[in-house]
Structure 1
Amino acid sequence: MALRIHNLSIDPPLALAPMVGLTHSVFRSLLVELGGVGLLYSEMLSAKRLPAENADLTPGLIRSSLEFPLFYQIWANEDTDLVAAVRKIEELNGQGIDLNLGCPAPQLRKMGAGRYLLERPDRLMPVLRRIRTSTTLPLSVKIRIGPTADPAALLLTCRMLEEQGVDLIVVHARLAGEKFCRKPRWQLLDVLPQRLSIPFFANGGIFTVQDARDCLTLSGADGLMIGRGAVQWPWLISAIARDIYGHKSPLAYSSPEQLYFTYIDLLMARFPPERRLGRLKQFTHHFAASLPFGHSLASTIQSSGSMKEARTRAAVFFEQSDNQSLTEEV
């Protein structure tokens, strides 16, 4: 079931969420090899700094030929030179642009960006217009439900975004200030189907195939965006693609051990030395949560002082653990 946006086909309609420090080139490549992901997103990037960044050195811009289609996510405010940022994304052969309108980080509050830009439509609409008139690339936005559980207000927000030329809306089904431990409110999104002329994806709280089914049923979304669930269990998106959309995917990595050491190898190949260990620790924090005795792996990697030490410790963990058949636990 392909979803078309302009000339871009998203098949199946499953996207990997943008997550700082996690959805970089290494992880995106692994998911493409596992199959089932129809759309990739970069980590969140500063639109102000983007034009001066070096694609061969900046971690957020490093990319392999496997990573397609890829939307570059940016944060911006009304003072940002958006034309220059858009030109840079076109030079990078991005397949689309995503404007973050959901992040509540304090530094974005100071800048009037992310969630705080969405709260000021008078400032947001010129930003969207400048992006829209600067490119023919697809434009998506990622938002939350809003400050309160008000479906009518959510619909008005989405219609405003649609009127400003947005092509795809991703709704994280939690309120603006809610933490990830709060159960997502997928049912509040059901005001959007048939009321918008553009597609929307639901996001938040999807960790199993059954979660994906429930989210689609309750929200009526045109597709799904998967975040932490895919980092915790990288086979999740391919399983959803297979079981819900009938998408056949090769089993590129047959065990967590194989995938983990490939992750390390790719980090070594693509990132400069100072950019490797921190990313491995961040990935392991999530990935280990699905492994038997995974807390042991997470702990030993967090205390590692080098990639060499981390690899040695990981080898000991997997040698002592039975993690060979877990790829079916979705």
Structure 2
Amino acid sequence: MAEGGIGVAITNSLALRGLTIAPPLALAPMVGLSHSALRTLVVEEGGAGLLFTEMLAARKLPQESDQTSPYLIRGKEERPLFYQLFLTEKEDIAPAVDRLHQLHAQGIDLNLGCPAPQLRRHGAGVFLTGDPQRVRILIQTLRAATNLPVSAKIRLGECLDEGRLLAFCRMLEGEGVDLLTVHGRLDKEKFCRRPRWDWIGMVKGAVTIPVLANGGIFSVEDARQCLQVSGADGLMLGRGAACRPWLCAEIARRVYGQQIAPTGRTAQEVFNRFATLLEERFPLERRLGRLKQFSHYFAQNFQFGHILATSVQNSLTMDEAKRQAEEFFLHSTV
């Protein structure tokens, strides 16, 4: 245990079916962001104890190539890595799990929290939680298909209904989910709405499996406050880690007491390293869009960051985007 400066005992590690997560800091599954380049960058900066892929369609997964698919490309340093699935049919589970075993996954995560409109027509993501019995069957089938740790990521529900939320979480635990991540917003709430960390605390008090708190963590102080309010066993960082790939390392040092040497990279060097990783690992047509998406968040570190974001967004090639970024960094201040 550590104190983290907040007067609350903090868990330094989690054990899931023999897998140790230390420190209990996770990089969230984010569409277009949680790919190999960002995962590796965060690992290099230090502090992340667990990584997640972008959400993967279980039905398509068996046909995806880990050599060319941007969703499956992975560096050897990206461990432990949980592959996140969105699914609606139990028949898709066994072939998908077989493929994940081939890919040497360290765990499997079920997406029950994404509110993206494109998932509505499939009844997947957060839209699946309206049918708890169907979710129960999917978890049972997934649990029976693998001995790997199984996790699930949820939101608080359509409305604030404590009884329904806690019953749903207890059901997940009862059917064999090993780790639960709770995003502290309702299903339709936007990111501008401050997350309800106290409701994550209700979930933590209702289950015995580890709970990760997600939502609104952009600084070390946010991390401390979230842990204090929620009592969660760990944290999952999303947009905060895309903005500041070194944030996990800062939290690991200052909250969890981890001895992690800073890389000493400047912001420009971090940006350049991300671009290099894209060029090393992704096909040409898969690079620029991901650099643009990353730049949208990374630019928030700078006083006039909108200039960086706009110049990269308007670039037609990777070389042009890198030139525009270099010009920006010559005159920027963090």
TM-score range relative to shorter protein: over 0.9
Give the aligned partner of residue 96 of structure 1: 107
Give the aligned partner of residue 207 of structure 1: 218
Aligned AA for 2:71?
Answer: G
Tell me the TM-score normalized by structure 2: 0.95
Give the aligned partner of residue 266 of structure 1: 277
1:74 to 43, 62, 85: 85
Any idea what the Cα deviations from partners look like across 1:18-77, whole Å, max 9, x if unmatched? 001101001100111111000000011100000111000000100000000000001000
Measured in 2, the distance between the counterparts of 1:131 and 1:79 equals: 8
Give the aligned partner of residue 301 of structure 2: 290
The alignment partner of 2:255 has SS state of helix
Contact 1:34 1:253 in 2 (8 A): no
Give the aligned partner of residue 109 of structure 1: 120
Contact 2:213 2:226 in 1 (8 A): yes
Aligned AA for 2:145?
Answer: S
Unaligned runs of 5+ in 2: 1-11
Report the CA distance between 1:194 and its aligned residue: 4.1
Give the aligned partner of residue 123 of structure 1: 134
Any idea what the Cα deviations from partners look like across 1:183-242, whole Å, max 9, x if unmatched? 101011222334312111110011111111111111110100000011111111111111
| Superposition pairs of residues 237-256 of structure 1, within 5 angstroms | 237-256=248-267
Tell me the TM-score normalized by structure 1: 0.96
| Superposition pairs of residues 223-238 of structure 1, within 5 angstroms | 223-238=234-249
Deviates more, 1:166-175 or 1:229-238: 229-238
Give the aligned partner of residue 172 of structure 1: 183
| Superposition pairs of residues 56-67 of structure 1, within 5 angstroms | 56-67=67-78
Measured in 2, the distance between the counterparts of 1:230 and 1:253 equals: 17
Measured in 2, the distance between the counterparts of 1:322 and 1:197 equals: 46
Contact 2:85 2:108 in 1 (8 A): yes
Measured in 1, the distance between the counterparts of 2:202 and 2:14 equals: 20
The alignment partner of 1:44 has SS state of strand
Measured in 2, the distance between the counterparts of 1:264 and 1:202 equals: 30
Give the aligned partner of residue 327 of structure 1: none
Aligned AA for 2:297?
Answer: H
Measured in 2, the distance between the counterparts of 1:79 and 1:139 equals: 15
Report the CA distance between 1:252 and its aligned residue: 2.1
Measured in 2, the distance between the counterparts of 1:252 and 1:21 equals: 25
The reply on whether 1:313 has 2:324 as its aligned counterpart is yes
Give the aligned partner of residue 147 of structure 1: 158
Contact 1:232 1:286 in 2 (8 A): yes
Any idea what the Cα deviations from partners look like across 1:271-328, whole Å, max 9, x if unmatched? 00100000000000000011121111001000000001111111111112244xxxxx
| Superposition pairs of residues 2-81 of structure 1, within 5 angstroms | 2-78=13-89, 80-81=91-92
Measured in 1, the distance between the counterparts of 2:90 and 2:213 equals: 30
The alignment partner of 1:245 has SS state of coil
Any idea what the Cα deviations from partners look like across 1:234-278, whole Å, max 9, x if unmatched? 111111111110012222242110010111111111100100000
Deviates more, 1:15-24 or 1:194-203: 194-203
Aligned AA for 1:118?
Answer: T
Report the number of matched residues: 323
Contact 2:90 2:137 in 1 (8 A): no
The alignment partner of 1:85 has SS state of helix
Measured in 2, the distance between the counterparts of 1:244 and 1:151 equals: 30
Measured in 1, the distance between the counterparts of 2:188 and 2:276 equals: 38
Contact 2:184 2:213 in 1 (8 A): yes
Contact 1:26 1:266 in 2 (8 A): yes
Contact 2:132 2:168 in 1 (8 A): no
Measured in 2, the distance between the counterparts of 1:73 and 1:80 equals: 17
Aligned AA for 1:287?
Answer: F
